[in-house]
Structure 1
Amino acid sequence: MPAARRGRRKSLTAWLFITPAFLFYAAFVLVPLIMSLYYSFLRWDGIGEARFHGLTNYITVLTDSDLLQIIGNAFQLVLYFTIIPVGLGLAVASAIRGQMNGRFGMATRTILFLPQVIPLVAAGIAWSWMFASTGLVNQALKSVGLSSWVKGWLGDFVWALPAVGVIGAWVLLGLCTMLLVTGITKIDTSLYEAARLDGARPWHEFRYITLPGLRQEIGVCITVTVIAALASFDIVYISTQGGPGITTTVPGLEIYRLAFAHRQVGLASALAIVLMVLVLLSIAPVQWFTRDKK
């Protein structure tokens, strides 16, 4: 068989495998994205006649104080959804590095991964009970003599957003820990042995061996958690429904409200497009800094 014909046959085979996946991707990602972009330039209630609205919806998203606060809420959640899971995941992975296959390591990984298999709705309900005025958190504070700290956490204008952030951090901790634990097993143990022979302390091993060795895994964790924070919906909707006021309202929840409650499909679509751009701008530097430098 001629080489050119063989090449065309391989190319055709490759396209046959790619086409089904591409069709699903186009149907559920590309087409909705294009439609959202189209709707974002319209003034439409989803039922009646649509009118071209130009850039008005985008100007509203970028100038309205409430919408800017809502976007800011999502970026505040990034601090909780990312820093806490990644930081604790690194600490746990480093602590159990020498006991990966032991009972302690297996038990630690199992316990920390449990939040990943719990539906977000169930997690939101459970944490709502825990943060209630008579919930477990307040009961624990009373038991250690911190009654002055007792409050309705999810109904407090100051503490509601941090409380939601704690829920998200708890959910994402297991995923980050598993990724980092898996990554740390790929680091050559002889590097740690050589460092100890040279008199390196645990902090130096962590800084000069563990962190560089987990560059890509850390990048994946940060990317996943940043997207989870900016695109959050389930946990916020179940635990606070965006209240009190708009202190915990995030773009995903506001898009839902604008489109289905207020019938402002164009404005909701514009906010969705802005959110997508913000997500891309947020994760692009992470991907660049954590990519393989080789």
Structure 2
Amino acid sequence: MTEQLTSVPADQRPTQRLPRHRRSRKSKLTAWIFIAPAFLAYATFVLVPLAMSLYYSFLRWDGIGEARFYGLSNYITVLTDSDLLQIIGNAFQLVLYFTLIPVGLGLAIASAIRGQMAGTFGTVTRTIFFLPQVIPLVAAGIAWSWMFASMGVVNQGLKAIGLSDWTRGWLGDFVWALPAVGVIGAWVLLGLCIMLLVTGITKIDPSLYEAARLDGARPWHEFVYITLPGLRQEIGVCMTLTIIAALASFDIVYIATQGGPGITTTVPGLEIYRLAFAHRQVGLASALAIVLMVLVLISIGPVQWFTRDKK
């Protein structure tokens, strides 16, 4: 038998396959070798800080001295303190601006330019709409602060069209400061939503629109019965990103208003920073951070469920 195998060319000899359990073990080992670097980085920068925040949330600690176990008192404070509840409510109000305006306008604009995205027009349009994503948020916050100032572009424009009674220091007004911050966030996120939705529209079969027009469907019917169902996943991504951006907002608020006037524009991210580094209440800041994380998960969970692929 050995002589017969020796006379057969090497490339024609039957290969000896490993047992199935050894092949499975080898495949798992190879997978873990590739996963390990990414998992190590994720654990170092996400899981470990999350575990530490959870641990700190049960302490009364100023970040320097001796820490004392505080039980659930920090969480009780977060859920009962009127100022902290208002701050959490401010973040949910920003969701209306950060999510509804970019997603709604994004759908309208993406539907309007659906057939003109090829060539130079499409390139220029995508560039213009995506510019807010390229501009640093600090620069965007400063620019909009100038525009919302008492002598800024917004008030000058209102005066030019005869609405002088509407002029005000927008970011310093107790009623209009939060909506003004919401407009800044909506402007920043609009380009991202448009790009995602335009990309999603290109995946919809054009023959569906042609068949609808042949059947006498109007543009509104095309939008409701073809565009919206075809963009279910893209809408879910847009809403997820914008809800997270609203609830975890920090930089725009810090640059534009620093949380004022009073606490009318203070959001949890900014308050966590103040509690931890200004007031030295690390435990309370950690508890607020954990509550914010839970609220984010609760908020995006239904969005993911409703917009997932139903197939």
Q: Normalised by the shorter chain, which TM-score bucket?
A: over 0.9
1:106 to partner: Cα distance = 2.4
User: Could you tell me which amino acid in structure 1 is paired with residue 250 of structure 2?
Assistant: F
User: Could you tell me which amino acid in structure 2 is paired with residue 29 of structure 1?
Assistant: V
1:208 aligns with 2:225: yes
Larger radius of gyration: 2
1:5 to partner: Cα distance = 2.4
1:111 to partner: Cα distance = 0.6
Equivalent position of 2:86 in the other structure:
69
1:105 to partner: Cα distance = 2.6
1:177-216 matches, cutoff 5 A: 177-216=194-233
TM-score, length of structure 2 as denominator length: 0.94
2:266 pairs, out of 236, 239, 249, with 249
Q: Cα RMSD (Å) of the superposition?
A: 0.7
Q: Secondary structure at the match of 1:244?
A: coil
Encode CA deviations 1:151-210: one digit per residue, 9 max, x unaligned.
Answer: 000000000000000000000001000000000000000000000000000000000000
After the TM superposition, which parts of structure 1 deviate over 3 Å for at least 4 consecutive aligned residues?
A: none
C-alpha distance in 1, partners of 2:212/2:158?
A: 43
C-alpha distance in 1, partners of 2:131/2:303?
A: 27
User: Could you tell me which amino acid in structure 2 is paired with residue 147 of structure 1?
Assistant: S
Equivalent position of 1:291 in the other structure:
308
1:11 to partner: Cα distance = 1.4
Q: Secondary structure at the match of 2:287?
A: helix
Q: What is the aligned residue count? A: 294
1:35-184 matches, cutoff 5 A: 35-184=52-201
2:287 pairs, out of 253, 270, 286, with 270
Q: Secondary structure at the match of 1:184?
A: helix
C-alpha distance in 2, partners of 1:200/1:189?
A: 14
C-alpha distance in 2, partners of 1:72/1:104?
A: 41
Q: Secondary structure at the match of 1:49?
A: coil
1:17 aligns with 2:34: yes
User: Could you tell me which amino acid in structure 1 is paired with residue 110 of structure 2?
Assistant: A
Q: Secondary structure at the match of 2:264?
A: coil
C-alpha distance in 2, partners of 1:11/1:53?
A: 43
User: Could you tell me which amino acid in structure 1 is paired with residue 72 of structure 2?
Assistant: L
Structure 1, unaligned stretches of length 5 or more? none
C-alpha distance in 2, partners of 1:14/1:95?
A: 45
Q: Secondary structure at the match of 2:143?
A: helix
C-alpha distance in 1, partners of 2:118/2:156?
A: 37
1:28 aligns with 2:45: yes
